Amino acid sequence: MAIESVGGSLVSKIAELLAGPVIKQFRYMFCSNNFVQEFDEQVMSLALALHRLQDAVDVAKRNVEVIDIDVNKWLEDAKNEMEGVNRLGNEKGKNGKCFTWCPKWIPQFKLSKALEKKTETLRKLEEKSKEFPRVSHKAPLQGIEFLPSKEFTPSESSKEAFEQIMKALKDDNVNMIGLYGMGGVGKTTLVKEVGRRAKESHLFDEVLLATVSQNPNVMYMQDRMAESLGLRFDEKTKEGRAHRLWQRLTTEKKLLVILDDVWNVVDLKEIGIPVGNAHRGCKVLLTTRHGDICSYMECRPIVFLSILSENEAWALFKINAGLREEDFNLNTLAKKVARECQGLPIALVTVGRALRDKSVVEWEVASKKLKHSQLQHIERNDEEKNTYACLKLSYDYLKHEETKLCFLLCCLFPEDYDIPIEELTRYTVGYGLHQDVESIEDARKEVYVAIKTLKDCCMLLGTETEEDVKMHDLVRDVAIQIASSKEHGFMVKAGIGLKEWPRSNKSFEGCTTISLMGNELVELPEGLVCPQLKVLLLELDDDLNVPEKFFEGMKGIEVLSLKGGCLSLQSLEFSTNLKSLLLMYCKCNDVIWLRKLQRLEILGFIGRSSFEELPDEIGELKELRLLDVTGCDGVGRIPANLIGRLKKLVELLIGGYNFQGWGVVGCDGTGGMNASLTELNLLSHLAVLSLRIPRVECIPRDFVFPRLLKYDIVLGDGSSDHPTSTRLYLCDINAASLNAKTFEKLFPTVSQISFIEVGGLENIALSSDQMTSHGHGSQKDFFQRLKDVEVSGCRDIRTLFPAKWWQALNNLTSVQIEHCESLEEVFELGEAGEGINEEKELRLLSSLTRLELSSLPELKCIWKGPTRHVSLRSLVHLQLRSLHRLTFIFTLHLAQSLVHLETLLSEKRMTKGK
């Protein structure tokens, strides 16, 4: 019995141990469908995780963030596994017959086992995706200077210099490299190319660039380097920031600092740059016009960048002058002109472009001018005199006097300054440069035309934005030289760190224009006699009181720009010729004297202000065409009837956030003490408007905005900005209490429209039944220029673009909609075909480049109705997230038009597509 008991127990134990594996093996053969189902479900789960993480990565990349290494590794692994899934899926398809009761046990067994193993791998990978606290981190800003440059045209000299510098950068014993050469020879372009190549080849962990210039601004240089490093300064002093920058730079193993345009010995420690024994991995590359600077700063090696050879110079000149080989006679003359440029790229380019398409006679005149230059009085060496003569010739060949003056006005700004075109426009208007134009907008267009001409001639340089331009320091030197002549009478001492009024052996009586921008004057003289002065640009210490009689000898002044300081407007009592008065961060008092400035056309109180309310005396300025109180957050009220009295006003800019003062009877409780929006309709010339209306209740009943050329109008929560286009921004309001007719004169021109947390919103035109065509033609004109649409958190909207507004689809470039819980369709196309002329082959949405739809739980379709008139040929980016009820995305017709789609982000929370 004992033996039988032991035997039974042993058999039972063996059976228990074998049962699991045996059952599992039987499952591989007889329960294959379970493995297939588990596999398919896990594939879908991993696909969703991959989409979710990839979407987050794409968002981070659009925000210029750096993706974390482990996230990139996971994405790579997931994509590789998904490729393996596809191969296994194909195998599954081939053996599909085996997943029924059939005798092919062996293939079925192997495939089930493979599916189980792959399912577990996918499960672990999906679980790992949930462990990432973030996908990216902020990237330090890469300077635009290290982007690929079209300006770099290699010559023998630049190639040789480039190779010497690159060799030195790889030498561990080198820490200071000097590059010198004439102004305009191409030093800046060359070191930017060096920086770009060094960055690309990973020679250094960081490559920084800062411009030093003739009058170094240490804090500006520190800011530029910190910006590139993603470093934020809490320190306020130059010394404290230098210490912080020093600490940050010593954390980098290998570092290249490029200091451009050095004029004197630079104290690197003062800036915060560790070099030599302080940081053996830090190298400094500097550029200068003077070789001895390189010696004083103990540069090894010292590299010389020479001018172009005669053949190289001729090739560059010929391209810019548009010369052809067959123009033998002209080319012979052109070669003489090219030789006068002395192989200097900036001279060859500017002179070449100045003489492009000119007659033989004009070429002959130019040749004689260069040979007998009138700039012999300049205290420069012969090569620099020649360069000045070439740039002066380019200036002489500008066709229009307005363009010439615009060029000269650009030299009023400090060296290496980003010159705002808007600010330049206000100076030109005050200067009386645009006598024949009817509006400031027309003057602004003329300035833009002049700027384009000057950029085409390489006399001005572009910047990162279209709103600013720059001047090469050599070109600025020539501009100042021209402007300082008796003919023009400019005195330019901008950005040189002045604390007091500049001393001069010459009388100020002949000055027409004085620029002391970019300084911090702590005292001003009294009794200056400047009877010819038209333009005065000053920057003062914040605590400096402008002397009462400072302007007494400037009775002809027409433009005054004052930044900082304290000003009594009584001191302008005799400056009755003023046309443009721009006061930035300036404390003002005695504002009653404003009424004396009856010729004023432009008035700006910009930045923080000492006013609690806008001076009522402004309303007495009958010639005022532009009023700018942008950023005057202290201004809480605008007196009633002030705006309405400015009958010639063309541009009104009341930007910022704090102003709450629009008055409506029964709204503000002030008994009509505040300005009302109805005053805008008293301004028959108004064309440009920037303002914020804090509440719907501030809009008078039956008020309709006038027709405008440009506007930035915010209703609700937000702040308006200087309008460069036509934008409506509605935030945190209830559209049901808003009369849609208020905007009907703006709808034909609006290019950007945003609805953020707007309750009661029914469609793009606010409501379905309020719109009429009173006073502005037909509704078919509405939204013809609409380009960008943003809708977020609008809980009541069901259809964004009803069929009656099909014309809104003509020029759309971007549509972004999120968190709209009732939205059922985006584009209703049912009646769209009725208004379309088949012969014109109009294709709706053909300009759309971006479509983003997120968190729309009731969205059933993107396009409702026939899509034969719709084309998505320009669509580049499509993002779809959390769209639970969306049944399909594209019809076959639409899918065939997606010829430029680059990004498709889709979070699979939709029902299965058709």
Cβ pair 848, 874 in contact under 8 A: yes
Cβ pair 496, 215 in contact under 8 A: yes
Here the tokens at position 904 are: 């498709």
Cβ pair 289, 262 in contact under 8 A: no
Q: Which residues of 425-464 are buried (b: 16+ CB within 10 A; e: fewer)?
A: bbbbbbbebbeeeebbbebbebbeebbebbeebbbbeeee
- Indicate the residue type of 284: V
Here the tokens at position 183 are: 């102004």
Cβ pair 316, 289 in contact under 8 A: no
What is the C-alpha to C-alpha distance for residues 847 and 850, in angstroms, rounded to an integer?
9
The number of angstroms, rounded, from the C-alpha of 587 to the middle of its chain's C-alpha atoms is 31
Rounded to 5°, angle at Cα 547 from 543 and 549: 165
What's the DSSP call for residue 714? Answer: E
Reduced DSSP (H G I as helix, E B as strand, rest coil) percent helix, strand, coil of the chain, to 5: 40, 15, 45
pLDDT along the chain (914 residues), means of 10: 46 45 48 68 79 76 72 84 67 49 55 75 83 70 46 78 93 93 87 90 90 87 87 87 91 91 92 87 92 91 90 88 84 88 86 89 86 54 71 89 94 92 90 78 91 89 87 89 92 91 80 93 88 94 91 92 92 90 90 90 82 86 92 77 93 73 53 80 93 87 91 85 86 86 90 92 72 49 88 92 82 94 90 49 84 93 88 91 85 84 67 38
Which pLDDT does position 253 carry in this prediction? 85
In this structure, what is the dihedral angle of CA atoms 149, 153, 158, 164, given to the nearest 10 degrees?
50
Q: What is the DSSP code string of 564-602?
A: SSEEEGGGGTT-TT--EEEEES-EEE-GGGGGG-TT--E
pLDDT per position as a tens digit, 488-529: 999 999 998 889 998 876 678 889 999 999 998 999 988 888
User: How many Cβ atoms are within 10 Å of 359's Cβ, its own excluded?
Assistant: 10
- Indicate the residue type of 483: A
What is the C-alpha to C-alpha distance for residues 588 and 911, in angstroms, rounded to an integer?
65
- Is pTM beyond 0.85 here? no
Cβ pair 675, 654 in contact under 8 A: no
- Indicate the residue type of 271: I
Which pLDDT does position 98 carry in this prediction? 43
What is the C-alpha to C-alpha distance for residues 227 and 199, in angstroms, rounded to an integer?
17
- Which helix (H) or strand (E) element contains residue 224? helix 218-229
Cβ pair 904, 881 in contact under 8 A: no
Here the tokens at position 650 are: 């063309």
pLDDT per position as a tens digit, 682-732: 999 999 999 888 888 888 888 999 999 999 999 988 777 777 889 999 998
What is the C-alpha to C-alpha distance for residues 405 and 66, in angstroms, rounded to an integer?
46
Beta strand segments in 771-849, E = 788-792, 799-801, 814-818, 825-828
Rounded to 5°, angle at Cα 751 from 749 and 754: 120
Dihedral sign computed on CA atoms, order 64, 65, 70, 74: negative
Cβ pair 363, 332 in contact under 8 A: no
Q: What is the DSSP code string of 859-904?
A: --EEEES--TTB--TT--EEEEES-TT---S--HHHHHT-SS--EE
Which pLDDT does position 2 carry in this prediction? 45
Cβ pair 184, 472 in contact under 8 A: yes
The residue among 803, 811, 809, 807 whose CA lies nearest residue 832 is 803
Which pLDDT does position 48 carry in this prediction? 77
Which pLDDT does position 88 carry in this prediction? 60
Neighbour-count burial of 601, counting CB atoms closer than 10 A to its CB (0-12 exposed, 13-18 middle, 19+ buried) = buried
Which pLDDT does position 600 carry in this prediction? 94
Q: Partners of 702 in the beta sheet?
A: none
Neighbour-count burial of 808, counting CB atoms closer than 10 A to its CB (0-12 exposed, 13-18 middle, 19+ buried) = buried
Q: Name 64's Cβ contacts closer than 8 Å, sequence gap at least 6.
A: 139, 141
Cβ pair 539, 561 in contact under 8 A: no
Pairing of strands 710-716, 490-492: unpaired
Neighbour-count burial of 723, counting CB atoms closer than 10 A to its CB (0-12 exposed, 13-18 middle, 19+ buried) = buried
Pairing of strands 788-792, 877-881: unpaired
Q: Tokens 């729309």 — which residue?
A: 856
User: How many Cβ atoms are within 10 Å of 118's Cβ, its own excluded?
Assistant: 18
What is the C-alpha to C-alpha distance for residues 515 and 517, in angstroms, rounded to an integer?
6
The residue among 727, 809, 740 whose CA lies nearest residue 774 is 740
Q: Partners of 302 in the beta sheet?
A: 178
